Amino acid sequence: MLSAGDKVVLSLMVFIPLAIVLFFVWFPALATVFLSFTTWSGIGGLKAIHADGIQNYHQIATNYPPFVPALEHNVLWLVVFIVFATPLGILIAVLLDQKIRGSRIYQSLIFLPVMLSLALIGIIWELMYSNNYGLINSLIGRNGQTNFIDWLGNPKLNIWAVLVEASWRQVGYVMVLYLAGLKAVDPTLREAATVDGATPWQTFWRVVFPVLRPINVIIVVITVIESLRAFDLVYITNGGTNGLELLSVLVTRNILGQQSRIGFGSSLGVVLLVIALVPIITFLVQQLREEKRR
């Protein structure tokens, strides 16, 4: 059926992209796991890599003070996204889907932050949070030399301040994805529910929400992954220190810092990888199920 030339072309079409993704993503991912059981400063080539058992993990668990705060912050990030940002985005999508007047304007404006880079979002919010010059302190009259609220400097407050920034973007992201899903729902389903006397509330929860199962899964996956990836906002704010530690920052610190501890940094990466596998596998299972149904 296929000529010899066709076979060569086909294998190149698969092989070149595959080689890139295997070499630049999957090989490093496996190497992270391997290196996490070793010590290596990066100096002296591959020969200087020494097996070290689970020593790195032991140290993370017992003798690495930033680990627990970082883990807590990642969990907090996830919780805020799940109980606040994501539901708010879904709620806005549902409200906009009622075809009310001006819904396009609302949608465009709430969507705007999704276009901006997280680094830029961090700077825009520094202008909001600034001790003496920021809009927030100015509005509540706490912008004096002594009575200001140090939103981004106070280690008890700053994670919440940054979570507001992150939610600012996440809400619009979820809203747009959910709106696309809602628009794809067969309108006769809703009409049938209304004819049967269902309230809008019942129609949404009993008819629309179950139909949107695939998109619900995707939104949960995105929510979890975005909260694991969180890095840019805290890095631009203060380098991810002093109350803004995250797992992603700790990993990076071991290669960007003065002393590079490849093995130790890798074991932190593995912690991140293990958590990330949960949403990734959820997503794959969902997709394969869809695939079979087709």
Please list every residue from 231 through 250 that binds other proteins, using CB under 8 A. Answer: 231-232, 235-236, 247-248
Closer residue to other proteins (CB): 207 or 222: 222
The residue from 18, 48, 61, 75 that contacts other proteins (CB under 8 A) is: 18
By CB under 8 A, residue 163 contacts other proteins: no
- Nearest approach in angstroms of CB 70 to other proteins is 11
Q: Which amino acid is at 210?
A: P
Query: Should residue 180 be labelled a site residue for other proteins when binding is judged by CB under 8 A?
Result: yes
CA 161 to CA 26: how far, in whole Å?
35
CA distances from 13 to 7, 20, 204, 234 (A): 10, 12, 44, 40
> How many other C-beta atoms lie within 10 A of the C-beta of residue 72?
13
Binding to other proteins (CB under 8 A): which residues in 46-85? none
**Cα-Cα-Cα-Cα dihedral sign, residues 45, 47, 53, 55:** negative
110 near other proteins (CB under 8 A): yes
Per CB under 8 A, does 90 bind other proteins?
A: no
Note whether 255 binds other proteins by CB under 8 A. Answer: yes
How far, in Å, CA of 285 to CA of 263, rounded? 32
> 118-129 and 158-183 are packed helices; what angle lies between their axes, rounded to 10 degrees?
130
- Answer for which of 55, 214, 238, 241 binds other proteins (CB under 8 A) is 214
Question: Which one of 50-58, 108-116, 151-159, 188-196 is the stretch in contact with other proteins (CB under 8 A)?
Answer: 108-116
